[in-house]
Structure formats: C-alpha cells, structure tokens
Amino acid sequence: MNLWTMLARANELHPKELAAVDGARRFDYATVHARAAALGAALQDRGVRVGERIAVLAANRVEFLELYFAAAAVGAILCPWNTRLAARELAGIAVDAETRVLFADVEFADLVRQALAFAPPIAVVVWIGGDGGRLDDVRTLVYDDALDSDGRALQVAAESDVVVAQLYYTSGTTGVPKGVMLTHRNVREHALAAIAELGLSDRDVWGHIAPMFHLADAWATFAITWVGGRHVFVPRFEEERVLDAIERERITITNLIPTMLNRLVKRDDVEHRDFSSFRRILSGGASIAPEVVHRVMQVFGCEYVQTYGMTETSPYLTLSLLKAPLALLPPDEQFRFRAKTGRAFLAVELDVVGDDGRPVARDGVAVGQIVVRGGTVTPGYWNRPEETRAAFRDGWLETGDLATIDAEGYVQIVDRKKDMINTGGEKVYSTEVEHVLYEHPAVLEAAVFGVPDPDWGEAVRAAVVLRGGRTADAEELRAFCRARLAGYKVPRRIDFLAELPRTGTGKITKVALRERVAAEERGTLDVRGAAQA
C-alpha cells in the first residue's frame, strides 16, 4: 500500500473536517488532498521519476505535510533536511543523495544560496511561503505556482515492501552523515502500530512542535492523517508560541524532546495556562530525568508516556504505557514504570543482550545492549552496504544503547555505549549523574560526559545551565551529587554555560561539549565558571 492511500482515505471519510491549522490558514481534508494531488501531478509533469530523491528544507507547515504525501504518491524518495545544518553539510547530503529537486522555505533562502555555492546537483528549487528570488544556473518556482499540472491527473505509483519512501540523514560529527532508508512498509507498519498503541482517532489534534524533518514528529504526519485527525503546525520551538497553540487549538497529543519539555514546565507562568485538552504527552529523543517527569505530569495534568526510538526504526522502539496489572499499582509504583524507557513497541521484537549476544538477566540490574528487529526497521544506509552489514548481527539491529530490562519487560536506558564513562575501571552512566543534577532546584539543564584523564583514564565532567534568578556554585552542586552518588560518579569539574549545544532537533550534543573541552586544553578556549576538585 502506497502511503498516499492514508491521505486518500482521510479525504474519503472526512472531506469537510478540519485537517490542518497553519497560523491563520485552515484547510479541510478535501483541500489538503486536492493540493497534494496537484503537487504530485505537477512533479510527474516535470519529469520526477520513481526513486528520485526530493529534498525539503522547511519549518513546520502544511506544505511539508503535502509534500510527504505527494512524493510518496509519485514514488519519489523524500529527503527532509535538518534546518540547523551548515551550508556545506547540506551540500554534502545533496551530493550523497544525488538530489535534483529542492523544496525550500523562503526563510532559508540565504542558506540555500550558500549551499548551492558548493555545487551540489540541485537543478530546481521550489520556494515555499513566497518568492525567494532567482538563483544562478538553477530553475526556480513558487510552491503555489508549482501546483499547476495543466489538468493532468495524479498517477499513484505502485508500492512494494522494498520501495524506499524517505531518506533521513542522521547527525554526524565528521564527513557526510549516513542516509537512513525507510520503506513504505516501514512507515506504514509504524503508523498502524502507533494508532493501536496510543488510541489515535479523528478526535485527536496533534501538535507539530518538534521539527517535521525529524522522526520525533514526522511519524505523526502519517498516523494522524490515516485516522482523520487534525494537524496543528508550530513553525519552530518558541516557548510562548507553543503554549499559545496548545491552548488556542486545543491540542490533545504531541511528542516533545526532553529539553523542550524541561523549558516549558520550568516557566514561571506555566501554572496559569489551560492544558485541559491534553490527553497524552509523549517525550522522546533523549533521556529525561524523573524530576522533570514529575513536573510534566503536574503541569500538564494528563498521561505521560516516555518513548524511545531511532531514525533506523521509524522511530519508536518502546513506550512507557502501563500494562493493565501495573495500572492497578499505587501511584508511586506506577510512576516507576512511567518514568522508565518503556516496554517494546507493538511493531518490534526487542531484547537486551550482553557482549556475547545472549540476553541479560531480566532483573533491572544487568546491563546490556538493546537489539531489535521487525517490519519498522530500516533495510539499511543509502549506498553504504558495509555500514549496513556492520549495524546488524544475525538479523538484529544493534542500537548502541545500553540498558537494563526488568521482569515486566520494561527497559531503562543507562547510557549510549559511546557516552559511558570509564574512570579508574569503574563504569559511570552519564544519565544517572544528570538525573541527580536535575533534582537541584537551581539547575535548568545538565549534561555529563567523560574527558581524558592521565591518572584515571577518564574523568567525569558536567556542563550546567542555571535557572533564571537562581544561583549555585560548582562546590554546592558537587556536594549535592556527593550526598546521592558514589564518590567516583561525582563530576570532577562543572562548567556553567549560558546554554548547552544542541543538534538540529534540539537534543543536547555531548560531542560539542567534548570538543569544547579539547579546545580549552589547546588553549584556544577560556572556560569560565568552572571548578575542579
């Protein structure tokens, strides 16, 4: 089944129902369906072939949704671009994917011009949201004009389990990031499982708040459309705008990255907002401290669901939804499970295994690597057969995430393999230390990471952002940690920063923090506000 069928079904069953809210613009399903069909036909008129890669560089908006479906309809592969990447990085992705057509939001016109300077194979740029101007040696169109297909009807391409629908480039620290291929089957099975797991229906209003170029949000494009729900687009994460949209549009469900949730719930004015429309709020994309989970549940007053996933798995692998017997437990016992990474998502098989490949004990203590398989798992990386083979062992995708698993089947991630700190032969899981730091009332955000140490191999280091109007020094935070953690887990040094570095999706990036420390060691960076034991 081609993913286009999801939009066609919504049009058939809910043609006059409100489908999309994009600022002052409001579209019913009949209109969205007609616009996406016209866009697909126009792509075919202009020679876009089955399997051709089409890129999109845009904020969250209705055109992004239309393009997801139009590209699928014609059998093209949509490649969403991270809006926070540098021009050279975007050009590298364009070259790697051999992309000829780019849909670009006019607000990124300067970034597009810079990227084209590196001579990627872009031949056509379609401006979204207005006219971004002419480009040297590149044909330009305006989105609404591009909807004109001279009356030609859309010819929906055939679908098979192996046809690639989307190509997402994962974050990389050197060179060109890897392109993760997701097939129509991957996306379809994930959407169907999400509908079943989360009870999605035409009564739901989804907030597109996390970026649509990332699967933390993009999966809902398909699941919500399939059930005829409503899409509300927030162009980018701005706290006031997000809170206003939740109240005004009566959003019922969304998925936010922990850093977003943390900033929302720690606002002084959040208690005066009306969040009564929410029935569930999901958190995913990174670890979240239990203290923040408590605050989220208190502020939003709805069910909280922790999620965990990967681009390679469409994305969900676990949800912290409670099994029926667990929902009968006292609230404190329920919370222990709600704050965990969760149990396996409906569409996958999941296990936690040791270095020998055997399952670890399901005692909530033994640590191993999460491995998965199922219909939502990527067939591999674009034009990288060796890296594809290296990612799998005996048919199981190795996630690189270290976790425990308990007798109920709920996993708890303790760290990424690459983020685990080995200090003097002792293993320190960075998330454990971060969770303690988040308990301190002055701490807004925290990241813990390892740095080279001549005596211990690695030393524990932390970077912290304080809440507005609060004060704390390094020794106070270290004493706070020392009262709650073993001595070797206490950060040897704490840096106070105005903000933590983030990836394009808003997740804190420890790679940048390690690079910052390396620059300090070279004498090219002055780290202020740091204290060492």
> Are 468 and 341 within one domain?
no
219 found inside a domain: no
DSSP-assigned letters across all residues of 52-100: -EEEEE--S-HHHHHHHHHHHHHT-EEEEPPTTS-HHHHHHHHHHHT--
Per-10-residue mean pLDDT of the chain, 533 residues long, equals: 96 98 98 96 93 97 98 97 88 94 97 90 96 94 85 85 91 65 97 98 97 95 98 96 98 93 91 96 85 92 95 97 96 94 97 96 96 98 95 95 96 85 83 92 94 85 94 96 90 95 81 88 59 43
Instruction: Determine the structural domain holding residue 405 and report its residue range.
Output: 237-416
Predicted pLDDT of residue 528:
45
Q: What CATH number is associated with residue 64?
A: 3.40.50.980
- Considering the domain architecture, whether residues 460 and 409 belong to the same structural domain is answered as no
Which helix (H) or strand (E) segment holds residue 318: the answer is strand 316-319
Q: For 412-450, b where at least 16 C-beta lie within 10 A, e where not — what string?
A: bbbbbeebbbebeeeebbbbbbbbbbbbbebbbbbbbbb
CA pair distance 295, 300, nearest whole angstrom: 8
Identify whether 204 is part of a domain: no
How many domains is the chain partitioned into structurally?
A: 3
Q: Is residue 231 included in any domain, yes or no?
A: no
Residue 355 shares a structural domain with residue 432: no
Crossing angle between the packed helical segments 331-338 and 290-300, to the nearest 10 degrees: 110
Q: Cα(49)–Cα(44) distance, rounded to whole angstroms? A: 7
3-state percent helix, strand, coil for the chain, nearest multiple of 5: 35, 25, 40
Residue 208 lies in a domain: no
Written as one letter, the residue type at 491 is P
pLDDT value at position 531? 45
Examine the fold and report which residue of 122, 151, 184 is the final residue of a domain before the chain moves on: 184
- Judge if 487 and 339 occupy the same domain: no
Task: Determine the Cα–Cα distance for residues 16 and 31; give it in Å rounded to an integer.
Answer: 9
What is the rounded distance in angstroms from the CA atom of residue 102 to the CA atom of residue 81? 10
- Domain membership of residue 205 (yes or no) is no
Mark whether 498 and 385 lie in a shared domain: no
What CATH number is associated with residue 508?
3.30.300.30
In whole angstroms, what is the distance from residue 338 CA to residue 304 CA? 7
> Tokens 């009306």 correspond to what residue?
274
DSSP string, 237-274: --HHHHHHHHHHHT--EEEE-HHHHHHHHT-TTGGGS-
Check: CB of residue 417 under 8 Å from CB of residue 401. Answer: yes
453 and 482 within one domain: yes
Give exposure, 8-25, as e/b (b: 16+ Cβ within 10 Å): bbbbeebbeebbbbbeee
Q: What is the 3-state secondary structure (H, E, C) of 457-502?
A: EEEEEEEEEECCCCCCCHHHHHHHHHCCCCHHHCCCEEEECCCCCE
At 176 the pLDDT is 55
Q: Which amino acid is at 222?
A: F
Q: What is the pLDDT of residue 147?
A: 85
Q: Give a yes or no: residue 278 inside a domain.
A: yes
Q: How many CB atoms within 10 Å of residue 456?
A: 17
Q: Are residues 256 and 177 in the same domain?
A: no
Q: Cα(330)–Cα(323) distance, rounded to whole angstroms? A: 14
pTM (2 d.p.):
0.84
Choose one of 388, 416, 444: the last residue of a domain. 416
Position 226: which residue type?
W
What pLDDT does residue 502 have? 86
| Cα-based torsion angle of the residue sequence 514, 519, 521, 525 in order, rounded to the nearest 10 degrees | -120
**Does 29 share its domain with 175?**
yes
Query: What CATH number should be reported for the domain holding residue 375?
Result: 3.40.50.12780
The answer to whether residues 481 and 459 belong to one domain is yes
From 123, 158, 184, the end of a domain falls on 184
Residues 179 and 251 both lie in one domain: no
> For tokens 């030393």, what's the residue?
459
Contacts of 358 (CB under 8 A, 6+ apart): none
**Is residue 25 in some structural domain?**
yes
Give yes or no: residues 250 and 363 share one domain.
Answer: yes
- Amino acid in position 342: G
DSSP 311: G
Same domain, yes or no: 175 and 243 = no
Q: What is the pLDDT of residue 171?
A: 62
Locate tokens 């305006």: which residue? 142
400 located within any domain:
yes
